[in-house]
Amino acid sequence: MPKNVVYLMCQILLAFALLSGCRPVYYGATSIVTFEDNEKNALVGRDYRIVISQVGEPTDITLDKSGTMKWIYEVDEASSNPLEVLSSLAVGLPLKRKILMVKFDRNMHVISSHIERSETNVVGLIGRVNHRLKQLEAKKRVKSVLHKLDLLNVGTR
């Protein structure tokens, strides 16, 4: 095989690798990636089980002092572009976030929902480890709350 054909094939393979690496990689509740502002009102008045079936398990759950529960669905979108490796080491891992917050009343029905979009950089190895530890703590909190809700649901039947 002539050298210029091999060289051309290598260039084509490199171009494919770079183009396929530009797709975003999603971390978190990927079910809300396509969830838009007009769909958030469809959740109002629904039971928590319907929310789980439509959107999935939340990434985090918080409780207000008034007793209202807020479910947070968070998607981190990181570019998998290999050309951004050097800039991510210097500046930090660039993350675009899409956050869906769903508030429940005491009867576990949705009273409101809100979508936010933000951009942030997770800087350095310590920042990445800290981000991952927070995600693990949130996952434990979610499992605990959902388990309690299932026990309450079984007890009321």
Cα separation of 82 and 149, whole Å?
Answer: 43
C-alpha 79/C-alpha 84 separation (Å) is: 8
Question: What's the average model confidence in pLDDT over 11-24?
Answer: 67
Q: Is 74 helix (H, G, I), strand (E, B) or coil?
A: strand
Whether pLDDT at 9 is above 80: yes
- Count CB neighbours of 31 within 10 A: 14
Helix (H) or strand (E) holding 50: helix 48-55
Q: Give residue 117's Cα distance to chain centre.
A: 11
pLDDT at position 149, please?
A: 83
For 18-71, the pLDDT digits (tens) are 655 555 665 666 667 666 656 667 788 888 888 888 888 888 888 887 778 888
Q: What is the DSSP string of 15-49?
A: HHHHHHTTSEEEEE-GGGSS--GGGGGGGTT-BHH
The beta strands (E) that lie in 22-59 are given as 24-28
Find where tokens 């979108």 sit: 77
Tokens found for residue 102: 């769903």
pTM for the model: 0.66
Answer yes or no: are the C-beta atoms of 61 and 125 closer than 8 Å: no
Say which residue, 10 or 28, is predicted with more confidence: 10
Q: Comparing C-alpha atoms, which of 27, 31, 33 is closest to residue 98? A: 33
C-alpha 15/C-alpha 12 separation (Å) is 5
Q: How confident is the model at residue 82 (pLDDT cuts 50, 70, 90)?
A: low
The pLDDT tens digits of the residues spanning 114-154 come to 888 888 766 666 777 777 788 888 888 888 888 888 877 76
Q: What is the pLDDT of residues 101-116, one digit of tens each?
A: 889 888 888 888 888 8
pLDDT grade for 3, boundaries at 50, 70 and 90: confident
What pLDDT does 113 receive? 85
* Residue type at 37 in one-letter notation: D
